[in-house]
Amino acid sequence: MGLLSSLLLNQASSWPLRAAERLEVSIEGVVLPVEVNDLRVWATSSGTVRTELGPWMQLLDEESRMGLMQLLQAPVLTKSSFGEQILRSWSAGPLLDAIGDVIRLMDGDRISSDVVLTTLEQLLKKRSQVSTLDLLEALPGQQLRLDLDALVLAASRWRLQLKRHQALMNGLSQPDAAARMIPPSPSTDGVSERSVQLPVAHRPRPLELRLWKPSQPRADRLWVALMPGLGGSPDHLKWLASHLAASGWPVLLLEHPGSDAAAVQALLEGRESFDGARALRERQLDLEAVLSAQARQRIPLPGERVVLAGHSMGALTALVASGHTPQRGMAQSCRKALVDLPLTNLSKLLQCELADRGVLRSRSARVSPAAVVGLNSLGSVIWPVGSSKPSQTPLLLVGGTLDLITPPLDEQIGLLASLGQHPSSRVVVIEGASHFSPIRVGESLISTREDDLFQLGEDLVGVNPRIVQRIIANEIVVFLSRLSIQSSVSVDEHWSDEGVRWHRLTVEGAGNLYRRYQ
């Protein structure tokens, strides 16, 4: 609910003439009329002060009861929110629907979204943050209905999803994981790095490309097209590009104006709005232009067959470009996926926007890559297990157990179980890694802040990011090396190095694990 309300900020006009005085609370199928102030007293006193609502709240289990108390008091909107920009995006529809299911007028009708937005905007003029209780007290109308049953149901579903991921983590943990020393990063001596500009028809300015050329390219004649995620910069992945080039593969690192770091900064500052469909469409055209230019030797990078690689949305771009088309009936899948706001898998919002806007079936020419490498990939709604055509393209998908944006059970393990068919395909799950573990910033700070490259804490960055990045790079090198000798993965493998454990799963192993915890 905090996330929902934090996305609702808009310029509006008049302040409601009369705020709610009475509140109907629906709980356990019973509708109770209470004073709005009684709800605040019950929540802020942890239920110790007697109110007419108290005895009914005791019908809930303690976990749900305490969760509701925290929910009602939690800040749901702050002056630092950039919800006005999100409101202009496709995601506003599902978010407003979710709020309308919880707070309604006395007759059961939904409250106008304009009224909600007006109320929030005016509240923020008086205070730096707004809680759910503040919103309930300020919404106009003599009587509102708060559906606690719907909140408890949503909370229980969310709790079940979190338990799925916890069960996965417990299931992956292997006490006998083999100790394995990850090789140090190869020397970059002899690797040349340069930037080139590529004029393209779909953009007013040339694309900025960064190239890494090894001194001795491998005999397999592979080259890597590497794409950052949404809001990502080429600087975030140059550590990986140089590692792969030092291992013998030429690397081209793309920048995607409009969905890069500068675009996200403009969003935060209120200068731009986000359009996920436009971002993917432009990324597809960027990639098509790069592949065409390299094939015609307009880019000074050797190689005959491309490996498409990317982080997050970059991984999705690679999967779509390699010929994977979405399942039929995605509209129904999205309705099911968005019954509750997918707080345990935020990528579902983006996937459903892309499906609704019709950009997943690319108009560009399909390529036949030698392989696809996806870091923190997404696609559980687009290619669900059991309804998608497996791929003959070798796939390497990498995820982390602390990723709640693209959680590994659905978005990497499930995705490999859905699309994987080639015997070399695998998924690697790293314990303690997050969605942002592959991203490196602030090279000068690395020596002093080894475990916190973002300086944001383990909750966002994950643990031991430098070790995790060494694992990621090594897994990609092993995967690409085995392509040329057609070496397949026959058994699941579990490894450990410097306190970090990771798991290399076959297509069969991923399928078994997904079915066990789905």
What is the identity of the amino acid at 184?
P
Cα-based torsion angle of the residue sequence 252, 185, 416, 166 in order, rounded to the nearest 10 degrees: -130
Beta strands in 384-475 (DSSP E): 395-400, 426-430
Ranges of H-type helices in 58-112: 62-73, 83-87, 92-100
What is the identity of the amino acid at 188?
T
3-class secondary structure per residue, 296-319: CCCCCCCCCEEEEEEECHHHHHHH
Of 200, 250, 211, the C-alpha closest to 234 is: 211
C-alpha to C-alpha distance for 251 and 224, rounded to whole angstroms: 5
| H-run or E-run covering 279 | helix 276-295
pTM given for the model: 0.79
Mean pLDDT of the chain: 80
Residue 303 backbone zone (phi > 0: left; psi -120 to 50: alpha; other: beta): left
What is the pLDDT, as a whole number, of residue 181?
A: 80
Q: Angle at the Cα of 97 (from 274 to 122), degrees rounded to 5?
A: 75
End-to-end CA distance of the chain: 25
User: Which SS3 state, helix, strand or coil, does residue 478 take?
Assistant: helix
C-alpha to C-alpha distance for 35 and 30, rounded to whole angstroms: 16
What is the identity of the amino acid at 158?
W
In tens, the pLDDT along 440-459 reads 876 544 443 443 344 445 55
CA–CA distances in Å: residue 153 to residues 28, 46, 138, 148, 259: 11, 21, 25, 8, 35
Of 211, 301, 300, the C-alpha closest to 255 is: 211
Domains of the chain: 2-164 (no CATH), 178-517 (3.40.50.1820)
Using 70 as the pLDDT threshold, list the residues of the chain that sit under it.
1-22, 28, 75-100, 106-108, 124, 141-142, 154-155, 158, 174-177, 261-274, 339-344, 362-366, 442-460, 487
What is the pLDDT, as a whole number, of residue 141?
A: 65
Determine contact, residues 401/477, Cβ cutoff 8 Å. no
C-alpha to C-alpha distance for 74 and 9, rounded to whole angstroms: 17
Q: Which residue has the tokens 């986000």?
A: 274
What is the pLDDT, as a whole number, of residue 114?
A: 76
* Sign of the torsion angle spanned by Cα atoms 186, 189, 195, 198: negative
What is the pLDDT, as a whole number, of residue 514?
A: 92
Of 518, 489, 502, 491, the C-alpha closest to 463 is: 502
The residues with which 171 forms a beta bridge, in sequence order, are none
User: Which SS3 state, helix, strand or coil, does residue 262 take?
Assistant: helix
Determine contact, residues 338/352, Cβ cutoff 8 Å. yes
DSSP state of 407: -
